[in-house]
Amino acid sequence: MTSVNVIIDTDPGVDDFLAIALALNSPELVIEAFTTTGGNAALRHTNANMLRILEALNRPNLPVYRGAQRPLVGSFGDAEDVHGVGGLPISLPRSSIRTRDEHAVNYMAQRLNNGPPVTLIALGPTTNVARLFRDHPGSVKSVERVVIMGGALDVPGNVTDYAEFNVWSDPEATALVFNSDVPVTMVGSDVCNQVRTYADKTPVPINPVIRRLTQAQYAARPGRRITLYDPVTVMAVARPSIVKLERLNIAVDTSDGPERGRTRRHPAGATIDVATGVDIEAAIGLFTGRVIQGRF
């Protein structure tokens, strides 16, 4: 088994929590750090959630670096109507873990300039990654690839008729990342919408915090289901065979019009890998084994 060094950039978030749990139980991944950004909730909440998640899952020694409070242009919205006030539908005890003093972007730049290649997994808006590439261009050479949860290629958006939430939150950042010289993989709503757990078909999680989280989210969502957006993105790195990738030219709409944040095929768009298919049974099996039945 070949391991992959990763830094996970995240804005927890229910599915971020589940993706973090999956990553922690994935031996294929060597997690070097977590970096946080605003998105599903304001940065003060997402950063606190990240610390609480690591403590709840008994991984207090993994470093956390605080990142972007706002996108490249404007200010973040949030998705607390989906994830709960503060980003989670359950309360977790205040963490004894502290965020590292260095800013997330500065940490990533230093790490990339002084270490082996690393894969960046972006589970929220790509603001931190974009600022890294913009402000520290020399670090790009050590990025193996960027794998983002974002975009809606052949399906409607989930925040507007056209745009998926993470890209809509900072389309300028996504466009910058797509047009960098770094290999990019986009795992969008097209495949993530196909991978869902349902309350009446999923075993009760072994971990009590994950049990509370899933029960609260099932109760809050139509059809008592959870769509595994971020976990599928982690799977694309830990178990690449689960997703089918196509090399496509993708443009990001950065206008102020109704299609802002849209990701679509365009001959002048950036050439990236796009997830266009997913092995649903394998994805559910991996999630069930490592998160629902996983021990932490």
Over the stretch 109-122, which tens digit does the pLDDT of each residue have?
999 999 899 999 99
Read off the pLDDT of each residue in 71-90 and give the average, rounded to a whole number. Answer: 82
CB atoms within 10 A of CB 253: 21
Note if the bond before 38 is cis, omega within 30 degrees. Answer: no
Q: Mind giving me the DSSP string for 10-26? A: E---HHHHHHHHHHHT-
Read off the pLDDT of each residue in 238-252 and give the average, rounded to a whole number. Answer: 98
With beta carbons less than 8 A apart as the criterion, state whether 88 and 17 touch: yes
pLDDT for 86? 81
Q: How far apart are CA 25 and CA 258, in angstroms?
A: 40
Read off the pLDDT of each residue in 256-265 and give the average, rounded to a whole number. Answer: 97
Read off the pLDDT of each residue in 81-103 and give the average, rounded to a whole number. Answer: 89
Name the band, by pLDDT with cuts 50, 70 and 90, for residue 211.
very high
- Pairing between β-strand 225-227 and β-strand 184-187 as defined by DSSP bridges: unpaired
Read off the pLDDT of each residue in 268-280 and give the average, rounded to a whole number. Answer: 98
Q: Is pLDDT of 130 > 80? A: yes
Read off the pLDDT of each residue in 178-201 and give the average, rounded to a whole number. Answer: 96
Decide which of 176 and 78 is more confident: 176
Instruction: Give residue limits of the domains in the chain.
Output: 4-292
**Phi (first) and psi of residue 212, to 5 degrees:** -60, -40
pLDDT for 77? 78
Q: Does domain 4-292 have CATH number 3.40.30.10?
A: no
Name the band, by pLDDT with cuts 50, 70 and 90, for residue 2.
confident
Q: Is pLDDT of 207 > 90? A: yes
Mean of the per-residue pLDDT values of the chain: 95
Q: Is pLDDT of 47 > 90? A: yes
Read off the pLDDT of each residue in 126-133 and give the average, rounded to a whole number. Answer: 98
- Listed in sequence order, the residues at least 6 apart from 145 whose beta carbon sits closer than 8 Å to its beta carbon are 119, 120, 182, 183, 184, 185
pLDDT for 1? 66
Read off the pLDDT of each residue in 45-72 and give the average, rounded to a whole number. Answer: 97
**Phi (first) and psi of residue 94, to 5 degrees:** -55, 135
The H-assigned helical ranges of the chain are 14-24, 43-56, 80-83, 104-113, 127-135, 165-169, 171-178, 189-192, 208-220, 229-238, 280-287
With beta carbons less than 8 A apart as the criterion, state whether 70 and 44 touch: no
* pTM for the predicted model, two decimal places: 0.97
Q: Is pLDDT of 138 > 70? A: yes
pLDDT for 221? 85
* Tens digits of residue pLDDT in 215-234: 999 998 889 999 999 999 99
